[in-house]
Structure 1
């Protein structure tokens, strides 16, 4: 039997919030807050950092509020959790320090240590880690000799992320990950430990979240070994922590998307769906239509891989509705770069998993025709996918034509997705070994893979 969380409802009233007001801040229904307080439901991990901030308690205080107590406990006084007050009253937190943790990870990566993770459990546990007051403490407690950080340093991080991201999109993640990691550990590290205002600190954490996410994407794209898989997952989790501590819902959702895609790649379907739901929950705080399309497509993809056709179809339709809306203001975030071309590719593969092959082919051809997929790596992957869809349709000539273009783009790219596509194509072409075109494609693929 569920027990009412009297402490939770009392704390909400203490900070002057009604159920309706708290629900509006969290972008959930009032009935959801009512279920939390009645003990019939528990806030999802990705909701908790924001809920704690609204109730002005730390993570341990929120855990105490969320612990249901039987009616017998009502005879004793309910202790209010320690509130988060002004900076001078801030208690020390038992959370692992995000900056120290991510820099340790980066330095270990430079030393080529491996991180092997057995399941997607790490990805889900990462959602409860952010220390939402770390930037405030750093603003107050910077060492006297620490380097002063301003907008110039923030801009520098963003420029490096863009430059390295453009290179990775063109030639694959395997070419530049060590550059991203060394930049994090050697150049950005002193800034993260430096002296800055709270506003600058939030911007710095956001920019660093993008850099760390890029390192994770590069590790994921670089190879198919267990060590690199685990390494990517850790980078994504740290990117989420940095973004959540900066109170940046878009970057938080983007990091969660990275974790969701990682779980899909590793076959952890249930975790991928939960992380996709988290992406959508963060997306409700945003007005940018491309960002909303990005996260809705993530959940649709996870649901399709999990065999949930209803959920996949529903969220794919929502994603399509959002990507069709005009963008009022251009942005620099990765979600803002989710172009109609990228959407067409992802939706094409979702439709392929749902066995709607005609619609899948149409979306993949659309992805190739519209602006935004001119990067060699991206275009190569779309052409490989198009060849696979055409083969499933029984269009052998069309498949070989697409795969021929794929090979034109693939040479010189260091990407596990391209390597996997090459191997997949070679295996599928074995049944057509009597056709000269198939033999020629297999020989070209063997030359590229070495």
Structure 2
């Protein structure tokens, strides 16, 4: 029996169950379809209303069979076609890795004979260019504008990697693992999860090939965050455990393992594990003891400056609004200095504060914070902020009777997909 059948057995309509739980009817519909799952703080009330234990509720929340078999998928998921240029680039890199790996095992003269006619020459300083692209990405209000340059750089890297072999290819492999993470970030911001996951997977594979443990671990973290964003917390925890093991083999002066812990805290909060979440946050907080050079501003940007907002966000996930609000307001007060050009970070804090307003049934708080986040989404075309705002709409429930909240909901619904 699934969630829908249990509701019907008890004689509840979707509207009645939504009213009892203080959520919108569409939220109940999305729970039943498996598109989203209830937040940790919603589950005790849902279980009690349906006459279930929390353990029994978990079984009822399993996605419908059609979704499990891949017949249906969230609308935000974008799968490239066989002829998609981005997919073709990824395939070509995998082919190059296979061929170059085989060539490196051959005698030099034989390898040169097989590679005859392939373009050779000293590669450009890809590391410097990649670093520049990360800076442009961070400063860009519309992240998608960066991608044409990223694609050109990937094409140039592909050509350079085709003409290299053995140990000479390691710097190029590292640059490739770096750049595919940036490509994934652009796709993720635009809600193209399948494309982002594919880029992160290739970044991890190339990082492993290059024996670049920190690059490899960071690619795994980014891949796990795709699962986190789709509320697949168990899957994310598994990937993050692998990232933790890889990061332990990396450079101890870098903040990689602390970033792993930070995202582990989010996955554990999604699983409702307060104690585990706080332990992970404590490990992440140890980044404060590292030198300022522990992050590189590119594929590794974790420096602890976001910990206040992240701690607040984790408490929101866990339904501990008493602990969350102080941390979030403190983070928001630092916005001019800490957030800089990051609309995404400020938008996330505003969305979390709006969630607290929803749980308190405070329309004034909801309107104030949601309006500011909506303005940021409209100014930046950020898919991430738009996604957070749409999640808010699912939680408005009875507050939608306030005309200001209803108007915000309509504006959010009209946001254009990136």
Normalised by the length of structure 2, the TM-score is: 0.66
Q: Which residue number corresponds to residue 421 of structure 1?
A: 388
User: Displacement of 1:130 after TM fit?
Assistant: 10
Structure 2 residue aligned with 1:45? none
SS at match of 1:324: helix
Residues 324 and 369 of structure 1: CA distance in aligned 2, closer, same or farther (over 3 Å): farther
| Kept after mapping to 2: 8 A contact 1:106/1:181 | no
Number of the residue aligned with 2:125: 153
Q: 2:153 aligns with which of 149, 174, 183?
A: 183
- Which blocks of at least 5 consecutive residues in structure 1 are unaligned? 1-104, 116-125
Indicate whether 1:276 and 2:246 are aligned. no
Are residues 359 and 203 of structure 1, via their aligned partners in 2, closer, same or farther at CA, if it must alter by over 3 Å? farther
8 Å Cα contact 1:254/1:335 also seen in 2: yes
> Does the CA-based 8 Å contact 1:139-1:197 persist in structure 2?
no
Q: For structure 1, which segment, 431-440 or 259-268, has the greater mean C-alpha deviation from structure 2 after superposition?
A: 431-440
SS at match of 1:316: helix
Shift of 1:209: 0.8
TM-score, length basis structure 1: 0.62
For 1:391, the equivalent position in structure 2 comes to: 358
Q: Structure 1 residue aligned with 2:378, among 411, 414, 419? A: 411
Match of 1:261 in 2: 225
Show structure 2 runs of 5+ residues with no match.
1-79
Secondary structure of 2:306's match? Answer: helix
Q: Superposed, which structure 2 residues align to 1:226-241 within 5 Å?
A: 228-241=192-205
Distance across 2 between alignment mates of 1:279 and 1:421: 26
Name the CA distance, whole Å, in 1 between partners of 2:324 and 2:103.
45
User: Of the candidates 171, 189, 195, which is equivalent to residue 142 of structure 2?
Assistant: 171
Higher mean C-alpha deviation, range 145-154 or range 359-368: 145-154
Distance in 1 (CA, whole Å) between partners of 2:379 and 2:402 is 27
Instruction: Measure the CA separation in 1 of the matches of 2:394 and 2:213.
Output: 42
The residue aligned with 2:84 is 109
| 3-state SS of paired residue (1:340) | coil
Q: CA deviation at 1:405?
A: 1.6
Paired position in structure 2 for 1:350? 314
Question: Shift in Å at residue 250 of structure 1?
Answer: 1.0
Which residue pairs with 1:44 in the alignment?
none
Q: CA deviation at 1:333?
A: 5.1
Per-residue Cα deviation, 1:110-160 (whole angstroms, up to 9, x for no partner) = 2779x9xxxxxxxxxx9xx99996795599546344444546332354245
Kindly state the Cα deviation for residue 446 of structure 1 after the two structures are TM-superposed.
4.8
What's the offset of the Cα at 1:241?
1.0
219 and 111 in structure 1: CA distance in 2 versus 1, 3 angstrom threshold = closer
2:386–2:415 CA contact under 8 A, matched in 1: no
Distance 1:151 1:327, change over 3 A: farther
The equivalent residue for 2:6 is none
- Whether the aligned pair in 2 keeps the contact of 1:239 and 1:255 (CA below 8 Å) is yes
Q: Are 2:177 and 2:203, in contact at CA under 8 Å, matched by a contact in 1?
A: yes
What is the Cα deviation at residue 255 of structure 1?
0.6
Query: How do 1:434-449 and structure 2 match up within 5 A?
Result: 434-446=401-413, 448-449=415-416
CA distance in 2, matches of 1:389, 1:400: 12
What is the CA deviation profile of residues 216-262 of structure 1, one whole-angstrom value per residue up to 9, with x for unaligned ones?
A: 22222213xxxx43222221111001111111111111111112112
Residue 379 of structure 1: how far off its partner (Å):
1.8
* 3-state SS in 2 of match to 1:287: coil
> Post-superposition shift, 1:215?
1.5
**Which residue of 1 is the match for residue 186 of structure 2?**
218
1:201 is matched with which residue?
169
Alignment-derived partner of residue 74 in structure 2: none
> How has the CA–CA distance of structure 1 residues 111 and 273 changed in structure 2, closer, same or farther, with 3 Å as cutoff?
closer
- Taking the aligned partners of 2:315 and 2:98, their CA distance within structure 1 comes to 35
1:182 to partner: Cα distance: 4.3
Residue number among 346, 354, 362 corresponding to 1:379 in the alignment: 346
- Structure 2 distance, partners of 1:329, 1:337, is 10
Structure 1, residues 278-327: CA drift from partner, whole Å, max 9, x if none? 2222232332363232111122222222334443232122112x133242
Cα distance in 2 for residues equivalent to 1:274 and 1:382 = 27
* Root mean square deviation, CA, Å: 3.6
CA distance in 1, matches of 2:86, 2:354: 40
Residue 162 of structure 1: which of 107, 116, 134 is its match?
Answer: 134
For 1:50, the equivalent position in structure 2 comes to none
2:316/2:352 contact within 8 Å kept? no
1:31-180 counterparts in 2 under 5 A?
A: 108-110=83-85, 136=104, 140=108, 141=111, 143-150=115-122, 152-155=124-127, 157-159=129-131, 161-163=133-135, 165-166=137-138, 170-172=141-143, 174-180=144-150
| More off after superposition, 206-215 vs 324-333 | 324-333
Return closer, same or farther for 1:179/1:368 CA change in 2, 3 Å cut-off. same
The answer to which of 247-256 and 144-153 deviates more is 144-153
1:296 match: 261
1:190 deviates by 0.7
